[in-house]
Amino acid sequence: MAKKLISIIGSTGIGKTSLAIKVAKYFETEIISCDSRQFFKEMKIGTAVPSDEELTEVSHHFIGNLSVEDYYSIGQYEIDALKKIDEIFIKNDFAVLVGGSGMYEKAVVEGLNNLPEANEENQQKLMQIWETEGLEKLQNILENLDPEYFKIVDKDNPRRLLRAIDIIWQTGKTYTENIKEHQPKRDFETFRICLDAPREIIYDRINQRVDVMLENGLEAEVKNLEKFKNLVPLQTVGYKELFNYFDGIWNLDFAIEEIKKNSRRYAKRQTTWNKKLENIEVLPYDYSWEDVLKILPLKS
């Protein structure tokens, strides 16, 4: 019988962590995180890392395993995550994947289409554009080259923009075309469960979560990372807005509202991305455990 990966997706703040823990406990297995910002140990509060209590309930992997100063590519994550999943499958027929980073989830489930390594000349050219003309220039370049991917990419993440433009320049094909190319099938089955909620519910949860992050010390966490503010991991919602506050560009109230607004925009992009995926079971945010059991694969 094929091994089974349960992939839990959905927009930010919708409750993926809680569901993943319930499912992992049901199958007595472990969790692989595909949240690309929870990899960094210095960014616990602003990335809503599971609590210590949640982390002890079930074994989690790829949470707090890196420093913001480390370089870590999506290609390396694919290799590392598949290796860890294989280790879990030695002792269990099931594993759970969870996180809001769509490309990282896709890397595990479908593969990265053998995309070329970064071209150093392209990267230097794009870095110079970013440093001299700003993020908006990179956004304009990508929008012109691949408007379809531009609709769903994290537009505020320079690494995503740099990578996509580099791939387009190297291959002569849009990034969308590159990632749609057929890949060999994985040797496990994937069951995708997408948590869903009305937009007003998602937005309200996001607003509340930002307030909780601030109560839990987000401002101090970001302040401690100020010397790293130009590194790619810190070009993240919740961090870049507070850097503007520390720089005197915005006042605190405005920065907080920008965090909430940009988080809502991110959730909208996640929803757009998830709608394009195949073989998904949609689960309402206010699910019962009976609802979950109806869509989970049977235990062996």
Q: Domain 3-113+183-295: which topology?
A: Rossmann fold (3.40.50)
Query: Are the C-beta atoms of 148 and 174 separated by less than 8 Å?
Result: yes
Whether the CB-CB separation of 68 and 228 falls below 8 Å is answered with yes
Confidence of residue 286 (pLDDT cuts 50, 70, 90): very high
Q: How far is CA 10 from CA 16, 154, 250, 266, 270, in A?
A: 7, 15, 31, 11, 7
pTM greater than 0.85: yes
Write down the residue that tokens 């001299």 correspond to. 132
CB-facing half-sphere around the CA of 95: CA atoms within 13 A: 27
Please report the pLDDT score of residue 6 as a whole number. 98
Tokens of 8: 């839990």
pLDDT tens-digit map of 44-65:
999 999 999 999 999 999 999 9
* Ranges for all domains in the chain classified under CATH 1.10.20.140: 120-180
Q: In the prediction, which pLDDT does 71 show?
A: 87
Binding residues for substrate are: 12-17
What are 26's two structure tokens?
Answer: 């049901």
DSSP 162: H
In this structure, what token pair is assigned to residue 271?
Answer: 């929803």
Per-residue pLDDT tens over the stretch 139-157: 999 999 999 999 988 888 8
Nearest to 103 by CA among 116, 112, 115, 91: 112
Helices 74-91 and 102-109: angle between axes, nearest 10 degrees = 50
CB 138 within 8 A of CB 126: yes
Cite the annotated binding site by residue number: 10-17
The CATH class, in words, for 120-180 is mainly alpha
Known binding-site residue numbers for ATP: 10-17
